[in-house]
């Protein structure tokens, strides 16, 4: 969950890890460099292609949106489609080969130039010069120099350049040592549901806790569960399964939960914003404390599953607080429940709410 103090210019690109504040707006972000190239092609951005989501980039985005009758705010998918071929796709969402054209190629050229392997134009076209530069970069990374930006090259670039990529192709994190978290049994819990939520087996939970899996568990019982299955090793499919599981258990529309999670993090589990918001649903420490102390009255496991549980519990609270009005509930998520009641939706909140509700129909 974000706060408006995270600086409006961070909205220059609607990439979950970037546009929503997980990356400092003053730090170069190659995805934004790709956006700047597209804006330059429209004659709206004439400054240096530097990957910084500064005031000039935000002003160019907003001017483009006004010229094309689009909602002024985040450069979301609709805005990037309107930018034309240079406005999409995001870097990391496809394999790149010679002859490709688009925002992701602009990002690649920016990265190669920053590393000193490319001195040509930042024009979004993977021509012979860009391909040769990519080959040189691959050799420097001890990769097969085939001038193709495939999964292995992408993973190496992401590690070496700290590039936020399209969540569809974020390289899987390295395997982590097994660790345990504590799950406090709640009403409606079963060993089957708990095991499914952390992608393990009933037998394993029973073995860890020295319990008979044929006997019922009781409310308040503390169970040790494998944390790694629900934390750093969670894939996009794992995250979606957890979102659906908690939505069903807590009675919240899974499409709404999926859309909110995608807007907040792109289903990425390790994002931490400048304000300290964490995880798939980007909940703040204060939100977790409120959920644990007021809404449920007990600690929630600090795993991916636990983080999602906290977020869905809080979203359910907001939906109940605003009598099922999803626009107001999402506004409360973004700017705070009290602020919505006192002042209504802020101008900065409207694009966020609209984007989540639009995305909901496709999730």
Kindly give, in sequence order, each residue whose CB lies less than 8 Å from that of residue 59, ignoring residues fewer than 6 positions away. Answer: none
Q: What is the reported pTM? A: 0.45
For 225-282, write each residue's pLDDT tens digit: 875 444 444 567 778 888 988 999 899 999 999 999 988 887 877 777 767 788 889 8
For 199-226, write each residue's pLDDT tens digit: 667 777 888 888 877 778 888 888 888 7
Average pLDDT over residues 81-95: 86
Kindly give, in sequence order, each residue whose CB lies less than 8 Å from that of residue 342, ignoring residues fewer than 6 positions away. Answer: none
pLDDT: is 21 or 187 the higher one?
187
Long-range contacts of 122-129 (CB under 8 A, 24+ apart): 122/33, 122/37, 122/49, 123/37, 124/34, 124/37, 124/38, 124/41, 124/85, 124/86, 125/100, 125/101, 126/96, 126/97, 126/98, 126/99, 126/100, 126/101, 127/98, 128/98
Q: Is 135 exposed, middle or buried (0-12, 13-18, 19+ CB in 10 A)?
A: middle
Q: Name the percent of the chain lying above pLDDT 70.
A: 82
| Residue 46: other Cβ atoms inside 10 A | 9
Q: State CA 59 to chain mean position distance.
A: 24
Alpha-carbon span 305 to 217, nearest angstrom: 19
The answer to whether the beta carbons of residues 281 and 261 sit under 8 Å apart is: yes
**In order of start, what are the domains of the chain with their CATH numbers?**
7-171 (1.10.101.10), 180-230 (3.10.350.10), 236-360 (1.10.530.10)
For 8-44, write each residue's pLDDT tens digit: 333 334 443 333 333 344 557 888 999 999 999 888 8
């Amino acid at each position: 969950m974000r706060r408006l103090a995270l600086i409006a210019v961070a909205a220059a690109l609607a990439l979950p890890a970037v546009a929503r504040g997980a990356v400092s707006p003053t730090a170069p972000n190659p995805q934004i460099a790709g956006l700047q190239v597209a804006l330059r092609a429209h004659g709206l951005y004439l400054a240096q292609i530097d990957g910084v989501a500064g005031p000039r980039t935000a002003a160019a985005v907003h001017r483009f949106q006004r010229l094309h009758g689009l909602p002024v705010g985040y450069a979301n998918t609709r805005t990037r489609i309107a930018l034309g071929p240079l406005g999409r796709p995001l870097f990391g969402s496809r394999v790149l080969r010679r002859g490709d054209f688009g925002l992701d190629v602009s990002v690649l050229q920016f990265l190669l130039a920053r590393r000193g392997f490319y001195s040509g134009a930042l024009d979004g076209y993977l021509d012979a010069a860009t391909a040769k530069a990519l080959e040189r970069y691959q050799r420097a990374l001890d990769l097969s120099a085939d001038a193709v930006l495939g999964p292995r090259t992408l993973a190496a670039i992401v590690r070496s350049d700290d590039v936020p990529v399209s969540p569809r192709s974020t390289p899987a994190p390295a395997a982590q040592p097994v660790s345990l978290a504590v799950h406090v049994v709640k009403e409606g819990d079963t060993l089957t549901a708990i095991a499914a939520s952390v992608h393990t087996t009933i037998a394993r939970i029973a073995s860890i806790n020295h319990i008979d899996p044929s006997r019922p568990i009781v409310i308040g019982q503390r169970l040790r569960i494998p944390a790694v299955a629900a934390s750093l090793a969670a894939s996009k499919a794992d995250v979606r399964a957890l979102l659906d599981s908690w939505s069903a258990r807590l009675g919240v529309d899974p499409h709404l939960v999926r859309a909110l999670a995608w807007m907040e993090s792109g289903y990425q589990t390790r994002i931490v914003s400048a304000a300290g918001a964490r995880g798939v649903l980007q909940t703040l420490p204060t939100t977790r404390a409120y959920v644990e102390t007021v809404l449920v009255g007990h600690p929630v496991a600090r795993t991916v599953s636990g983080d999602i549980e906290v977020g869905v519990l809080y979203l359910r609270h907001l939906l109940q607080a605003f009598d099922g009005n999803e626009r107001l509930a999402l506004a409360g998520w973004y700017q705070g429940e009290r602020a919505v009641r006192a002042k209504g939706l802020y101008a900065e909140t409207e694009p966020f709410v609209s984007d989540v509700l639009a995305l909901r129909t496709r999730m």
